[in-house]
Amino acid sequence: MAAKRSLGRGLAALIKEPTVSDSAAQAPDAKGVRHVSLDRIRKSSVQPRHAFDAEALSDLANSIREHGIVQPLLVRPTGDHFELIAGERRLRAAGEVGLTEAPVIVMEVSDEDALQLALIENLQRENLNIIEEAEGYRALATEFHLTQEDIARRVGKARATVANALRILDLAPEVRDMLARGELSAGHAKALLGLASPVEQAFCARRAMSENLSVRSLENIVRKAQQAPRKPRAARSDLPREHLGDLSDTLHRVFGTAVRIQPSRTYANGKKGKGTIEIDFYSNDDLDRILQVLGVAEG
């Protein structure tokens, strides 16, 4: 059927023949499309999209006002009403322009298939934000026990794309919020995954946003932050590891840049080895700012 082909490989594999519900909607046309009243369509409880861009929704509303709803909504019957499976943006825009009914394809599907269809339809459209996309993949994996390869095949994307998106969900909550708002790109997210500490991830993310850093610049910062201090053999650090971590985090916040601490050491023969503190800066202005924090006036 032509209506199936237009929905993509992943959706077509799930769609079953729509059945006619004489009491709830008019009979379908040759393509299985019928028109139902908007007040009989209930929003889906499994919509993977959380944020709806107001400008994009306005553009869609203008298009619908001019041309109508070109692609039917996917719904399933629930008593005298219909539950929306896919097409919430179209449904919202139709309401905004004052339409009273919408074209739909009515499907008899289980709860599992309804969730899977909603996720795949949105993921195939490629207009979810980075976090919504990653959460959609995770839902497919956890709800239906699909492998990354299975997910990639169903949504028509490379397995590496799915794997990288899922890794983004391991980032600190603050960083995920910044990604969802579009303040950082997927490239920035990939660079930040090189930092194990959520505190460092959030710190570097804020810096990348405030300084409008490129992905390459952020990668360089992360690479420097990953350089662990070298520990001489047969020597004992004079600072406990837990205290060293707390102190590093404190200095990060004070100086607003990466700081590495090499504690002093006590060798087996009782002699002492020096400790060092390294403070990164990236411009003369950055250096001036750090000197001001240290209370050092230029001579």
Alpha-carbon span 227 to 221, nearest angstrom: 10
Which listed residue (17, 66, 83, 88) is catalytic? 88
Q: Where are the alpha helices (DSSP H) in the chain?
A: 2-5, 9-14, 54-67, 88-96, 111-125, 130-144, 148-155, 159-168, 173-180, 186-192, 198-210, 215-225, 241-255, 284-294
Q: Which residues contact 280 (CB under 8 A, 6 or more apart)?
A: 221, 224, 257, 258, 259
CA distance 41 to 73: 10
| Residues 136/123, Cβ–Cβ less than 8 Å | yes
Place of tokens 């001489």: 232
Residue 88: count of CB within 10 angstroms of its CB: 20
Instruction: Please give the Cα distance from 220 to 21 (Å, whole number).
Output: 61
The dihedrals phi and psi of 283, each to the nearest 5 degrees, come to -165, 170
83 is catalytic: no
Catalytic residue numbers, as ranges: 88
